[in-house]
């Protein structure tokens, strides 16, 4: 038997690693909030194809190129974030919870399934409706080469991978003298903070431009999709934030102080990258200043979900965008049902007249009012 095979069989048969398997018993709540999040998540379930994007085409097709470009690049950033939140972010946090937390794991796994399979897919549907294959390819290449976007992904996914490593160590190497339960919990806390920064801060900052249009009654179908995603990310950030607070409370005062410093250092690191990313997208439409205010606004929200005080001074956010966050067609109270602006898609055959656009009626977007 070769060395590799010996090691594999040792892991399988090691009696210390034997566990008693149990089933998820939903008759016994694991805590007083997870089953509420479960209900809310499932009541919000939707599919990318529920919202038809065709009605947006008459507006999109006459937008100036610099505005189309900024809109698409912004959604591409959201695509990258959702992709990795689904591929590793939610699954790794779920796996890090103790084995008996079957309900918590189920909620996180459901959230993880939404990220890529529904949210990232929806952004692709928008690209496929609005853009040519060549333009879509160029857009994805832009993201793959964008230094700030890549740095943001490395920072966030780096903490996920570190927790992935610790999940393995806890499972198979916990008797090793180099392993410590506190180190595991620190890695878990850091990954949860990264997750909340992604959900409540980075995602929300990316909702600025679609809401900017939606608030003015333009690209409404894409706006409906954003509303559905926004509602999901809202409860994702709240839930993981709550789990992070539980972990944080187990730490000594000294460790809490050190980690509070880290929370702020990490925030500033991401903030620096985000500011440059914002400039690279929004300078062309003269909105960088406004978007950066929204970035700081959402950073404070993320900190509050994690149980920390706001870091940035309060500022006035663009009322058009705030209005987009607060309309009655959405559910920002986190525990109500689907928004009343949401309807399942009713499809009909396209007609030639669908492609006749009245240019007079199209308002030009951008920083100039
Ligand atoms: Fe998502
Ligand atoms: Fe999410």
Position 326 scores a pLDDT of: 66
Which one is predicted more confidently, 326 or 287? Answer: 287
**CA of 67 relative to ligand 1 center, distance in Å:** 24
Mean pLDDT of 26-30: 97
Give the pLDDT confidence score for residue 163 in this predicted structure.
98
Residues, CB within 5 angstroms of ligand 1 (ion)? 82, 115, 119
Mean pLDDT of the residues in the chain = 88
- 8 A C-beta contact, residue 199 and residue 236: yes
State the distance from the centre of ligand 2 to the C-alpha of 20, rounded, in angstroms. 32
Average pLDDT over residues 171-180: 92
Nearest ligand to the C-alpha of residue 236? 2
Instruction: Please name which ligand lies nearest the alpha carbon of 119.
Output: 1
pLDDT at position 325 is 78
Residues 266, 281: Cα–Cα separation, whole Å? 23
Q: How far is the CA of 21 from the centre of ligand 1 (A)?
A: 31
User: Ligand 1 centroid to 369 CA: how many Å?
Assistant: 32
Tens of pLDDT, residues 208-244: 999 999 988 999 999 999 999 999 999 999 999 999 9
From the CA of 110, the nearest ligand is 2
Q: Does 361 or 76 have the greater pLDDT score?
A: 76
Is the distance from CB of 208 to CB of 291 less than 8 angstroms? yes
Half-sphere exposure of 340 (CA within 13 A, CB side): 4
Ligand closest to the CA atom of residue 41: 2
Query: Which domains can be identified in the chain, with CATH numbers?
Result: 31-44+53-340 (1.10.620.20)
Other CB atoms within 10 A of residue 285 CB:
20
The pLDDT score that the predictor gives to residue 178 is: 87
Residue that the structure tokens 């880290």 belong to: 262
Is residue 24 within 8 Å of residue 103, measured between CB atoms? yes
Q: Which two tokens stand for residue 80?
A: 């990258």
Measured in Å, how far apart are the chain's first and last C-alpha atoms?
A: 74
Whether 168 is a known active-site residue: answer no
The pLDDT of residue 352 is 55
Q: State the greatest distance between any 2 C-alpha atoms of the chain, in Å, as a whole number.
A: 78
Ligand 1 center to 117 CA (angstroms): 9
Which of 123, 130, 204, 209 is the catalytic position?
123
Give the separation between CA 291 and CA 311, rounded to whole angstroms: 17
Tokens 């966030």: give the residue: 156
What is the structure's pLDDT at 19?
74
Q: Give residue 295 CA to ligand 1 midpoint distance, Å.
A: 18
Digit-coded pLDDT (tens) for 124-141: 999 999 999 999 999 999
User: Average pLDDT of 266-271?
Assistant: 98
Contact 320, 216 (CB under 8 A): yes
* C-alpha 86 – ligand 2 centre gap (Å): 8
**Ligand 1: centre distance to CA 232 (Å):** 7
Nearest ligand to the CA of 82 is 1
pLDDT for the residue numbered 113: 97
């Amino acid at each position: 038997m070769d060395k590799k095979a010996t090691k594999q069989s040792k892991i399988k048969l090691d009696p210390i690693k034997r566990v008693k398997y149990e089933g998820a018993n939903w008759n016994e709540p694991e805590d007083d909030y997870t089953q509420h999040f479960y209900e809310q998540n499932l009541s919000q379930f939707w599919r990318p194809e529920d919202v038809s994007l065709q009605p947006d085409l008459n507006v999109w097709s006459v937008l100036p190129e610099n505005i189309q470009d900024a809109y698409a690049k912004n959604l591409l950033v959201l695509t990258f974030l959702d992709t990795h939140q689904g591929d590793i972010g939610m699954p790794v946090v779920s796996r890090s919870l103790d084995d008996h937390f079957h309900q918590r794991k189920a909620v996180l796994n459901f959230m993880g399934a939404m990220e890529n399979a529904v949210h990232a897919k929806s952004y692709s549907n928008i690209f496929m409706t609005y853009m040519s294959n060549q333009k879509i390819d160029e857009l994805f290449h832009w993201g793959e080469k964008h230094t700030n976007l890549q740095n943001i992904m490395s920072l966030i996914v780096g903490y996920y991978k570190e927790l992935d490593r610790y999940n393995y160590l806890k499972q198979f190497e916990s008797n090793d003298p180099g392993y410590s339960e506190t180190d595991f919990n620190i890695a878990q806390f850091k990954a949860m903070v990264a997750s909340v920064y992604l959900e409540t801060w980075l995602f929300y900052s990316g909702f600025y431009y679609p809401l900017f249009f939606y608030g003015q009654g333009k690209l409404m179908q894409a706006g409906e999709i954003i509303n559905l995603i926004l509602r999901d990310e809202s409860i994702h950030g709240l839930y993981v934030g709550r789990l992070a607070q539980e972990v944080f409370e187990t730490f000594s005062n000294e460790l809490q102080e050190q980690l509070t410093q880290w929370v702020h250092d990490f925030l500033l690191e991401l903030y620096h990258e985000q500011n440059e990313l914002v400039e690279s997208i929004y300078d062309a439409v003269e909105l960088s200043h406004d978007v950066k205010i929204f970035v700081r606004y959402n950073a404070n929200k993320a900190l509050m979900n994690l149980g920390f005080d706001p870091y940035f001074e309060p500022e006035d956010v663009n009322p058009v965008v705030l209005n987009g966050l607060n309309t009655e067609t959405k559910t920002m109270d986190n525990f109500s049902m689907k928004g009343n602006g949401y309807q399942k898609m009713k499809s009909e055959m396209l007609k030639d007249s669908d492609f006749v656009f009245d240019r007079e009626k199209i308002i030009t977007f951008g920083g100039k009012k």
